[in-house]
Chain A
Amino acid sequence: MSPADIALRNETYQAFVALGRSPSAEEVAVVMRMTAAEVRAGWRRLHEDHALVLNAGGTEIRMANPFSAVPSAYRVWATDRWWYANCAWDAFGICAALRSDGRIETSCADCGEPVKVAVEDEHPDEPSLLFHCLVPAHRWWDDIVFT
C-alpha cells in the first residue's frame, strides 16, 4: 500500500467519523485535492488491499471496518450518535476505534431476542453472551460481507 493510498484511506476514515456516514468520492476529493475519479481509483486499490470494502458497483464505500456504511443488525451508540457495525466483532470495534464507551444493540442471531450490551472501559456488562465465528480466519476475505 503506497503512502498516497494510506493518506487517502486515513482521510476517508476521518471523513466517515466526522460526517457520521460514508463520505462520497466528491467529498473526499475536495479535502485531498484530487478528482473524484482519482479518489475512486484509490478506493479500488484500497479495496484490493482489504483496507476498506466497496459496494458491488465498486463506486461507493460498503465498509470502512469496523464501520458499516449501510444499516445492519448491529447498532452502536458511542460519541453521542448511532453507528452501524458489520458484525458483533465490529460492534465492539467501533467503541475501540472511537476510544469510547458505548452501547451495542442487536438480537440473538438464533431466537431474535433483543440483546443490549454496554461497553465500559473496554469491558462488556453482559459477559454471559457468546460470540460465534463461523468462518476460519484464512477464509475471512473470500467473502467479507458473508464473514
Chain B
Amino acid sequence: MNLFRSEEHIYRWLGARSPGATMPATTLSALAHAWWGDRLAPQWKPHSRQQNQAILDSVGLVGDFWQIAHG
C-alpha cells in the first residue's frame, strides 16, 4: 500500500505483477479518515465486516477487488 508520483511509476514498480487498485491521494485520505477515525475513541468497539464494507463503498471503492468477504 504505497504512494507513487504517477501512473507511470506504478506500472514500472509493478513489473510483471498484476495491478491492484489505484486511487488519488484525496480518496485515500477520505478512506483513512473514515476507517481509522475512531481508533482512539475511549469506547471503541470493533467494526463489523459490514461496517468496513460500507466505509469502502462510501468513498467509491466498489467491485470485486474491494470485497472484504470473497464469495
Contacts and interface: CB of A to CB of B under 8 A. Distances in A.
15 contacts: A17-B40, A89-B1, A95-B32, A96-B36, A108-B4, A109-B2, A113-B5, A130-B5, A130-B7, A132-B13, A132-B19, A134-B20, A135-B20, A138-B68, A147-B1
B66 A96 contact: no
Nearest to A51: B46
Interface of A: 1, 6, 9-10, 13-14, 17, 49, 51, 65-66, 87-99, 106, 108-111, 113, 115, 117, 119, 122-124, 126-140, 147
Contacts of B65: 133, 136-137
B25 interface: yes
A6 B40 contact: no
B39 A93 contact: yes
- A interface SS class: mixed
Contacts of A117: 3, 25
Interface string B6-33: 1101101110010111111111111111
Contact of B35 (A10, A96, A98, A113): A96
A138 B70 contact: yes
Given A131-B22, A134-B20, 10 more contacts: A6-B46, A10-B43, A14-B40, A88-B2, A89-B1, A98-B40, A117-B25, A131-B2, A132-B2, A133-B23
B24 A127 contact: yes
A97 B37 contact: yes
A72 to B, nearest CB: 11
A130 B4 contact: yes
B68 A134 contact: no
Contacts of A65: 36, 39
A67 B31 CA distance: 16
